[in-house]
Amino acid sequence: MSIKYKNLDTLSSYKELKEQTEEVILKDVLTRERIRNYSVPVGGGLIYNYAAKAVNENIIDVLQKIADEQQLSSKYREVLNGEFINTGENRKVLHHLTRGQLGSDVIFENKNLRDFYVDQQNRIREFSAQIHSGEIKGSTGKKFDTVVQIGIGGSDLGPRAMYLALENIYETKMDAYFISNVDPDDANAVLGKINMETSLFILVSKSGTTQETLANKNFVLEKTKKAHIKGFNPALHMIAVTSETSPLAGSDEYLDSFYMDDFIGGRYSSTSAVGGAVLSLALGSEVFDQFLAGANDADRAAMEKDIRKNAAMLDALIGVYERNIMNYGQTAVLPYSQALNRFPAHLQQMDMESNGKSVNRTGKTVNYSTGPVIFGEPGTNGQHSFYQLLHQGTDIIPLQFIGFKDSQIPFDLEYEGSDSQQKLKANLVAQIVAFAKGKEDENKNKNFPGQRPSSLIYGTQLTARTLGALLAHFENKVLFQGFTWNVNSFDQEGVQLGKLLAKQVLAGGDDLDEALKGFTELLEI
């Protein structure tokens, strides 16, 4: 069967979906049986439950037709097989290959790329072991106890969110810090907290040309010089994670270099050397291996053609239903786990940068809505913040809950008949039902309309393995949505204009655009 890329609104199954007028009333359908049945394995032991989504068997049947007509499974296999899926940049899309091989061998320039990724992982494993054992020490002879990632966007958000998600459940081998913003207050604040003699910096930039990251590298190097530490040699305190063709690769300025390539997009790089170096150094490479295994589990689960058995594809298509049929513009990500406090920020990048597009894969403007706005905070905190609007605001916002049976740290205490973890879970369950079923009240101010759809991803505990599966689930969901909307989820042309204009502002000159001049005056640049 040949692969055809079609706009969503040209599919006959999409027309069928638009014509289907059945409304699923959540307060009527949400039975115990439906809650038990509407569950799909995500991989890594996680389950995706969609009982509180406003769909029924008929709607899911039509979503299956869209999946089939849009050839979502075949397109996913093309990704796994290393086809040039990123049409905008003429690149393969290989983040799945960093955590296992599910398709055919991917050979590029006579190199088996699975071998390449595994090789980098093994090099990181060995390097981390040498750092942890003290075989490699800092330039003044002290053991390294701190790792500082210098990177922005995908080199920051994903690795940082993953580190925060895991730092309390595993024994931390090194404390991790992150410098991302070009705001000098960011680097200054981090450098004020660490001991340079025992710190190892990881410079992360695929191209080796990211303005913020190079400025921060220079910032760190100059600041270490100004510290006048006797015998300190910055070259022995920094490693690079970059592509083999970047100006940073193999430089004498660094203790070592680890590689990724152009086939791993920044926002998909947590399972490559970008996440691998910092996570292996901070938490140990065994933890990173489990993280990869969980992601691979979810990748395998996403190969299933039946959407009722494929959590990522089902999640994606319910999202398309909500976006294009129900016209909901946002999705809130609500993890009931404090450790996932930066996971929504990572998803915000991954989803919005991938599918926040107005043109299809061949550069034609599409006539339908694409990627929604993603935002979120951990529960129960969010309950005391923006949930008011979610319950009683004038717009309906679909919700993505995440929860675990057990906390990460085993210590817990009972208070007024339940322990904290039980309270946390009780709040999660209560919110799903409150959003779905609402509660009528004659006093309209206390009335809850309900019919706010949500799904729940849950598991036993947030571990490296479940975190890997959770991450890959959303990566694959976004990929399936991109194929459904027929956009290229793997480029980001929308970030270019700002970069260009910022350079013009810094270069200055009389021919600078008038508006740039005007704002430059205000801020006294």
Catalytic residues: 353, 384, 499
Size of the site for a second copy (CB under 8 A): 155
CB-wise, 64 or 455, nearer to a second copy? 455
DSSP letters of 343-412?
HHHHHHHHHHHHH--SB-TTSPBPSS--PPEEE---TTGGGGTTHHHHHHSSS---EEEEEESS-SS---
Say how far apart CA 1 and CA 71 lie, in whole Å: 10
Site for a second copy in 476-495 (CB under 8 A): 488, 491-495
Whether omega for the bond prior to residue 380 falls within 30 degrees of 0, making it cis, is yes
State the nearest-atom distance from the C-beta of 429 to a second copy, in Å. 4
- Verify binding: residue 359, a second copy, rule CB under 8 A: yes
Q: Applying CB under 8 A, which of residues 129, 136, 293, 516 lies at the interface with a second copy? A: 516
Binding string to a second copy for residues 157 to 176, with x set by CB under 8 A, is what?
x----------x--------
Q: Does 407 bind a second copy (CB under 8 A)?
A: yes
Closest CB to a second copy among 111 and 439?
439
Neighbours of 437 (CB within 10 A): 17
Q: Which of 8, 11, 30, 46 is close enough to bind a second copy by CB under 8 A? A: 30
Binding status of residue 228 toward a second copy by CB under 8 A: no
* Neighbouring-strand partners of residue 414: 419
* Residue 249 sits in the site that holds a second copy (CB under 8 A): no
CB of 71 to a second copy, least distance (A): 22
Binding test (CB under 8 A) with a second copy, winner from 118, 136, 236, 501: 501
Stretch that binds a second copy, among 96-104, 248-256, 289-297, 428-436 (CB under 8 A): 428-436
| Least distance from a second copy to the Cβ atom of residue 110, Å | 31
Look-up of token digits 């680097």? 187
Element (H, E) at 149: strand 146-150
Distance of alpha carbon 289 from alpha carbon 284, whole angstroms: 9
In whole angstroms, the minimum distance from the beta carbon of 6 to a second copy comes to 17
Of 268-327, binders to a second copy (CB under 8 A) are none
User: Using alpha carbons only, how large is the chain's radius of gyration in Å?
Assistant: 24
Of the residues 184, 209, 235, 245, which one makes contact with a second copy according to CB under 8 A: 184
- With beta carbons less than 8 A apart as the criterion, state whether 148 and 176 touch: yes
Sheet arrangement for strand 39-43: 39-43, 46-49, 454-459, 399-404, 330-335, 373-375
Query: Closer CB to a second copy, residue 107 or residue 506?
Result: 506
Least distance (Å) between residue 448 CB and a second copy: 5
Tell me phi and psi for residue 73, to 5 degrees: -65, -45
**φ, ψ dihedrals at 29, nearest 5°:** -95, -15
**By rule CB under 8 A, what string of x and - marks binding of each residue 91-130 to a second copy?**
----------------------------------------
Nearest to 74 by CA among 25, 120, 6: 6
Nearest distance from residue 339's CB to a second copy, in Å? 6
